[in-house]
């Protein structure tokens, strides 16, 4: 039996090549579905429910109808641990940087200055136009306490926003929780359009629900998404591998995933409705972003995307590999925003780069080993001014592994995006991230403030459900202000079972008990729906025997 949850903290260098390779193998096992020619998606969950239930109208308004509908977030995953010091070069202490990296440093003649303290390698010069237009920000020294240094675990930490992900029962991703927070019935009643799309991002748990079901529609390569977008075809369930057991498993998974491909016609319609307005480079990231641009321009309506560029584990041959990766990022991002700008859509899109960790300050023979803190880049005109933010990397104040210390927790960036870009209530942001994190108020974007004298006070509700001693459940909810409340319980198929409360309630916490009026549903999920001031909240529960 394979053990995929080795909690040993991986070592950092090629001196520990056995452990390094072991980490990569564990990481690869998580990408098992890649070998099947498919990726998991929301459709995996459909194995437990009927197609009819999935096709029924949602009890809730789609999360896509709430908040700033036109705002889109694109995550650019730099897989492998990006060397931030060779991306955002510290000109303010170039001597120390160069001394630590005698063979892999970026020569001063090959650096384009961003300001008096930092520069980028000239291989990234295609980003200059975004910088000059005020559409690029860099946040230095980003990370988290006690960096894990394992590709596998640190990726999960970044994607879940949960530093205890190894031992947590809840394996959900931060954007999976966002999707469920906006629409708790997401899986039981899939929205009309995909809530999220991932390309080449297998192994990322960002969109997982607590049961490790990926709520995003996944495509393991841009070619696969392109094929679906152009033809709308589903997976082939006839031409299966000859091996009996393996073939059966592949056929089963493909047949389940085909249910998700009821999204294929909408993806195809959006993709075919428009063309890219610029020529994209022939590289992996440009191909992914070119497709994302067409889906945005074609009004698909999906607001969350993730794309991935692999190859950042630069223990060796960094001088050959890393400059190519930097040029790839610069070309792809520049082309993407140029394409969107033709249709005046560039202001609707915020992009964020992230990687599981940075690299060591000191070079090894011809590369860099696993490090800790590193810069994050953001792109989009709504940043309203280019800048380098965060604390400068301090080469004299290192952690116990001689790595750069972080000063901005990556979850501060997530919290700021959720509140200021996706426009969630601050309390809801803290709920999604599992704690309260400082917001970065210098990112440039915000949700339009509404005057308190002209806007009605909004009702916010915290709600939960628990089994009680009477053999039923107690639904608890806290009202921030008094108002009329409707609390109703439904079956998973949408059949109304009971209205528990209908009428006015004062502000504060209320507890409502529910027991089954008749047998037969004690093993099936039920849903409660709470309506307050025109907004709907819901949750799922099963009554224990």
Range of the domain at 425: 40-433
Weakest-pLDDT range from 206-220, 272-286, 346-360: 206-220
Which residue's entry shows tokens 């999976």?
176
367 and 424 share one domain: yes
**Angle 330-174-139 (CA atoms, 0-180°, nearest 5)?**
40
Report d(CA 334, CA 133) in Å as an integer.
Answer: 12
Report d(CA 99, CA 250) in Å as an integer.
Answer: 53
In 192-225, which positions are buried (b, 16+ CB within 10 angstroms) versus exposed (e)? ebbbbbbbbbbbbbbbbbeeebbbbbbbbbbebb
3 domain residue, yes or no:
no
Tokens of 27: 């990481």
Last residue of a domain, one of 417, 433, 449: 433
402 and 467 share one domain: no
Chain-centroid distance, C-alpha 55: 26
Report d(CA 183, CA 71) in Å as an integer.
Answer: 18
Give the pLDDT score at 32: 39
Report d(CA 203, CA 68) in Å as an integer.
Answer: 29
422 and 475 share one domain: no
Give the pLDDT score at 246: 53
196 and 315 share one domain: yes
Give the pLDDT score at 239: 57
CATH label of the domain that carries residue 534: 2.60.40
455 domain residue, yes or no:
no
**Neighbouring residues of 152: CB distance < 8 A, sequence distance ≥ 6:** 23, 26, 27, 30
267 domain residue, yes or no:
yes
Mean pLDDT (whole number) for 92-98 = 98
Q: What is the pLDDT of residues 389-427, one digit of tens each?
A: 999 999 999 999 999 999 999 999 999 999 999 999 888
Give the pLDDT score at 111: 98
Mean pLDDT (whole number) for 27-45 = 40
Bigger pLDDT: 465 vs 260: 465
449 domain residue, yes or no:
no
Last residue of a domain, one of 413, 433, 453: 433
C-alpha distance from residue 127 to each of 124, 330, 356, 444 (Å): 6, 5, 23, 18
Give the pLDDT score at 75: 98
409 and 480 share one domain: no
72 and 153 share one domain: yes
413 and 470 share one domain: no
Bigger pLDDT: 426 vs 122: 122
Per-residue pLDDT band for 481 (boundaries 50, 70, 90) equals confident
Q: Report the SS3 class of residue 229.
A: helix
Give the pLDDT score at 47: 26
Position 482 pLDDT exceeds 70: yes
Position 221 pLDDT exceeds 80: no
Q: Report the SS3 class of residue 262.
A: helix
Give the pLDDT score at 50: 23
Weakest-pLDDT range from 18-32, 321-335, 507-521: 18-32
**Neighbouring residues of 333: CB distance < 8 A, sequence distance ≥ 6:** 76, 126, 127, 130, 289, 351, 379
Give the pLDDT score at 491: 79
371 and 482 share one domain: no
Could you tell me if 433 and 401 are in contact, meaning their C-beta atoms sit under 8 angstroms apart? Answer: no
133 domain residue, yes or no:
yes
CATH label of the domain that carries residue 120: 3.40.720
Report d(CA 72, CA 289) in Å as an integer.
Answer: 13
Give the pLDDT score at 232: 62
Tokens of 377: 């880049």
Weakest-pLDDT range from 152-156, 485-489, 505-509: 505-509
23 domain residue, yes or no:
no
34 domain residue, yes or no:
no
309 and 359 share one domain: yes
417 and 495 share one domain: no
**Neighbouring residues of 399: CB distance < 8 A, sequence distance ≥ 6:** 147, 372, 405
Bigger pLDDT: 39 vs 141: 141
343 and 391 share one domain: yes
Q: Would you say the C-alpha torsion 37, 42, 44, 50 has a positive or negative sign? A: negative
Q: Domains in the chain: how many in total? A: 2
401 and 297 share one domain: yes
Per-residue pLDDT band for 120 (boundaries 50, 70, 90) equals very high
Q: What is the pLDDT of residues 103-118, one digit of tens each?
A: 999 999 999 999 999 9
Give the pLDDT score at 209: 86
Across the chain, mean pLDDT equals 82
Position 90 pLDDT exceeds 80: yes
Tokens of 359: 């690299």
Position 135 pLDDT exceeds 90: yes
Give the pLDDT score at 231: 66
Give the pLDDT score at 448: 63
Q: What is the pLDDT of residues 1-10, one digit of tens each?
A: 334 444 444 4
Q: What is the pLDDT of residues 169-194, one digit of tens each?
A: 889 999 999 999 888 877 767 788 88
Mean pLDDT (whole number) for 20-25 = 58
18 domain residue, yes or no:
no
**Angle 424-430-436 (CA atoms, 0-180°, nearest 5)?**
130
């Amino acid at each position: 039996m394979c053990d995929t949850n080795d909690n040993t903290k991986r070592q950092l260098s090629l001196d520990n090549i056995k452990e390094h390779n072991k980490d990569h193998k564990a990481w690869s096992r998580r990408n098992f579905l890649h070998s099947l020619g498919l990726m998991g998606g929301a459709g995996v969950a459909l194995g437990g429910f009927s197609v009819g239930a999935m096709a029924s109208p949602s009890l809730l308004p789609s999360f896509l109808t709430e908040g700033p509908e036109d705002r889109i977030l694109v995550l650019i995953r730099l897989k492998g641990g990006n060397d931030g010091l060779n991306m955002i070069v510290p000109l303010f202490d170039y001597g120390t940087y160069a001394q630590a990296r005698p063979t892999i440093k970026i020569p001063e003649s090959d650096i384009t200055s961003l300001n008096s303290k930092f520069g980028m390698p000239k291989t990234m010069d295609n980003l200059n136009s975004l910088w000059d237009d005020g559409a690029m920000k860099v946040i230095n020294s980003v990370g988290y306490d006690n960096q894990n240094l394992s590709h596998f675990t640190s990726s999960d930490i970044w994607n879940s926003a949960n530093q205890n992900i190894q031992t947590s029962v809840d394996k959900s991703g931060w954007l999976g929780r966002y999707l469920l927070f906006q629409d708790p019935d997401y899986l039981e009643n899939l929205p009309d359009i995909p809530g999220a799309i991932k390309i080449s991002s297998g192994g990322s748990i960002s969109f997982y629900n607590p049961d490790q079901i990926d709520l995003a529609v996944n495509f393991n390569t841009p070619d696969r998404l392109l094929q679906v977008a152009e033809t709308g075809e589903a997976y082939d369930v006839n031409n299966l591998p000859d091996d009996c057991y393996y073939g059966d498993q592949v056929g089963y998974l493909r047949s389940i995933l085909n249910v998700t491909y009821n999204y294929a016609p909408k993806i195809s319609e959006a993709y075919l409705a428009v063309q890219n307005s610029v020529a994209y480079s022939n590289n992996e990231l440009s191909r992914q972003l070119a497709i994302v641009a067409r889906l945005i321009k074609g009004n698909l309506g999906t607001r969350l995307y993730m794309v991935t560029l692999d190859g950042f584990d630069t223990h060796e041959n960094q001088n050959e590999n890393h400059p190519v990766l930097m040029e790839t990022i610069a070309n792809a991002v520049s082309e993407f925003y140029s394409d969107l700008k033709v249709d005046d859509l560039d202001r609707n899109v915020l992009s964020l780069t992230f990687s599981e960790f940075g690299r060591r300050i000191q070079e090894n023979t011809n590369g860099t080993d696993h490090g800790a803190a590193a810069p994050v880049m953001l792109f989009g005109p709504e940043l309203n001014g280019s800048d380098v933010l965060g604390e400068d990397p301090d080469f004299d104040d290192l952690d116990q592994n001689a790595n750069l210390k972080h000063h901005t927790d990556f979850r501060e960036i997530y919290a700021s995006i959720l509140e200021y870009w996706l426009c969630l209530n601050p309390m809801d942001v803290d709920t999604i991230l599992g704690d309260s994190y400082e917001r970065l108020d210098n990112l440039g974007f915000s949700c339009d403030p509404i005057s308190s004298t002209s806007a009605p006070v909004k009702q916010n509700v915290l709600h939960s459900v628990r089994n009680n001693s009477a053999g039923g459940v107690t639904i608890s909810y806290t009202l921030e202000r008094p108002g009329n409340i409707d609390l109703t319980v439904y079956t998973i198929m949408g059949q109304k079972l009971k209205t528990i409360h209908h009428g006015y309630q004062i502000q504060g916490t209320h507890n409502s008990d529910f027991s089954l009026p008749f047998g037969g549903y004690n093993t099936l999920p039920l849903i409660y729906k709470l309506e307050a001031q025109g907004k709907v909240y819901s949750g799922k529960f099963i009554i224990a025997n």
